[in-house]
Each structure stands twice: as C-alpha cells, then as structure tokens.
C-alpha cells in the first residue's frame, strides 16, 4: 500500500462552458493540471473531492474523472478518489468504481444533511469498508456536513482493517493527540484545514489534504516537509507566505 503523507492536493476539476447546463469537464486542462502537480512535488492527488466538484458532477462524470486521473497519473504518485455520499448504497457504488479504476485509496466524507448519530456513522462506514476491498480514509468536515464524527467513533472504525486514516477538518488541533491515542501509530492522520495544517502536523499528524496546494503546490510541499521534519521555525515562515494564497482560494 502506498504511503499517504505530506502535501496532498484536493485537486479542482477544470470545467468548460462557464456557468451553463452544458458545461463539461475540460479533460486536456485536467491532464495538464495533474502534470503540474507531479512536477511541483505534490505527494498525492485527491480526485473528485468536494473541491473537485463532487457535489455537482453527474455520477458518470464523477467515475470517469477518477478513471482518467488514475490513468493519466499512471502510478507516478498515489491517487485518492473521493467516493463519499450521504447514501450508503451510492457510496459503495462510487467506491467500487474507484477500486475498479485502480485508485490507491478512497476518501469518504461523513453523510451530509442527514445528521446521523455516532452509531449511524459507524455503521455507514463499516458497511462500505466491508463491501469494497480498498484502503479507505474517513473525512470529517462538520462545517460542511452538519455532522461531527467524534474521536471515539473514529477509533472504533480504525479497528476495521481497510479503514486506514482520517482527514480531520474541524480545525481542532487538540484532536490529533486524541486520535493518535485511540487509533494507533499506523493510522494516517491528515489535516483537512489549511489554516491549521501546520499545527496539525507539528502535533503529530501525517500531512495535509490541501486546497491551497492548487495554487501553491511547491510551497505547500515545503511547508509539509518542514513541519513533518520538526522544523517549527521554518514551517512558520513558510506558512506565513501561504497566508496570502489562502485568502484567494479558501
């Protein structure tokens, strides 16, 4: 299994046609964007996450985008496919399609709008993990979903073999210690909040799935290397440089 750490981009999905019912994915620009990230040292691509239009693409566009990203990257860096949904059945379908396309892992957001209980969250992700044999990363972003998957629930899910990590986007850095204690050293802890990503890594996280990396991939890679290497002073200096970019993209 590939290593999932460092600077991972929640890559946009380039569209043509502007604001139009006929707008479609611009595949040639997408391929150039992927090459740009590989050239600039991005450690992994997250395809069709929420930044990549997962909420607005059709199901077939969603699956085709994942297939094309995997094919174009061709093993140069890992590809994590966004396959979450508020329907368990839909999430299983998307996750199976991503597995068939050759994705290295899948990222599954907590069910949005439904506001499930903690037991409901556990059962939702357990069923998907048991249905599709591919590494799966949980995605907790309560500011978008109105649903907060608590550290105790994540720790329960970490006992399932192919649930390998979590993208934690609460911005609560103190959760890193809770998650590490509950999930173990091998469980991948990724920040999904660019503004606190540096602190997340300095507290023991493994990397960032970043929006800012769309416009500053090389600098984000440098930030991750500094933070993961324990160089807090350098990481702070780089983070200060990235603040301006964040104002433009977040």
Q: What is the pLDDT of residues 105-125, one digit of tens each?
A: 999 999 999 999 999 999 999
Distances (CA, A) of 18 to 43, 48, 78: 30, 19, 30
Q: For residue 16, what pLDDT is reported?
A: 87
Residue from 240, 137, 200, 216 nearest 208 by CA:
200
Looking at residue 246, what is its pLDDT?
Answer: 74
pLDDT band at residue 23 under the 50/70/90 scheme: confident
State the pLDDT at residue 247. 72
Task: Indicate which residues carry an active-site annotation.
Answer: 139, 167
Enter the tokens of residue 227.
Answer: 């933070």
Inform me whether the pLDDT recorded for 243 exceeds 90.
Answer: no
Pairing type for strands 105-109 and 136-140 reads parallel
Coil vs helix vs strand at 210: strand
pTM to 2 decimals?
0.95
pLDDT band at 3 (very low <50, low <70, confident <90, very high): confident
- Residue 10, pLDDT > 90, answer yes
144-195 per-position pLDDT tens digit: 999 999 999 999 999 999 999 999 999 999 999 999 999 999 999 999 999 9
Summary mean pLDDT of the chain:
95
Q: Distance between CA 71 and CA 200 in Å, rounded?
A: 32
What is the per-residue pLDDT for 2? 76
pLDDT tens, residue by residue, 84-112: 999 999 999 999 999 999 999 999 999 99
DSSP state at residue 106? E
Q: Could you tell me the two tokens for 111?
A: 């069910």
Which DSSP symbol is given to 205?
-
Residue 249 has pLDDT above 70, yes or no: no
State the Cα–Cα distance between residues 169 and 209, nearest whole angstrom. 9
146: left (phi over 0), alpha (psi -120 to 50) or beta: left
Give the integer Cα–Cα distance in Å for 234 and 230: 9
- Phi and psi (nearest 5°) for 205? -75, 170
Is residue 33 within 8 Å of 213, Cβ to Cβ?
no
């Amino acid at each position: 299994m590939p290593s999932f750490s460092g600077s991972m981009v929640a890559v946009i999905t380039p569209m043509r046609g502007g604001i139009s019912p006929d707008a479609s994915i611009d595949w040639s620009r997408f391929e150039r964007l992927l090459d740009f990230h590989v050239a600039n040292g991005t450690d992994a691509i997250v395809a069709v996450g929420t930044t990549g239009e997962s909420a607005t693409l059709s199901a077939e566009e969603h699956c085709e985008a994942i297939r094309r990203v995997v094919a174009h990257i061709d093993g140069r860096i890992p590809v994590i496919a966004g396959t979450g949904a508020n329907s368990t059945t839909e999430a299983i379908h998307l996750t199976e399609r991503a597995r068939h396309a050759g994705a290295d892992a899948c990222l599954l957001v907590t069910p949005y709008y439904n506001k499930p209980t903690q037991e409901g969250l556990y059962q939702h992700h357990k069923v998907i993990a048991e249905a599709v044999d591919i590494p799966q990363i949980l995605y907790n972003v309560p500011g978008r979903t109105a649903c907060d998957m608590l550290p105790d629930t994540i720790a329960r899910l970490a006992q399932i073999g192919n649930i390998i990590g979590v993208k934690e986007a609460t911005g609560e850095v103190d959760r890193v210690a809770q998650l590490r204690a509950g999930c173990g050293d091998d469980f991948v802890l990724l920040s999904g909040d660019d503004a606190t990503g540096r602190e997340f890594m300095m507290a023991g996280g493994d990397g960032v799935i970043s929006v800012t990396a769309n416009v500053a991939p090389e600098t984000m890679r440098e930030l991750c290397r500094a933070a993961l290497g324990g160089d807090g002073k350098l990481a702070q200096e780089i983070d200060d440089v990235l603040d301006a970019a964040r104002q433009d993209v977040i």
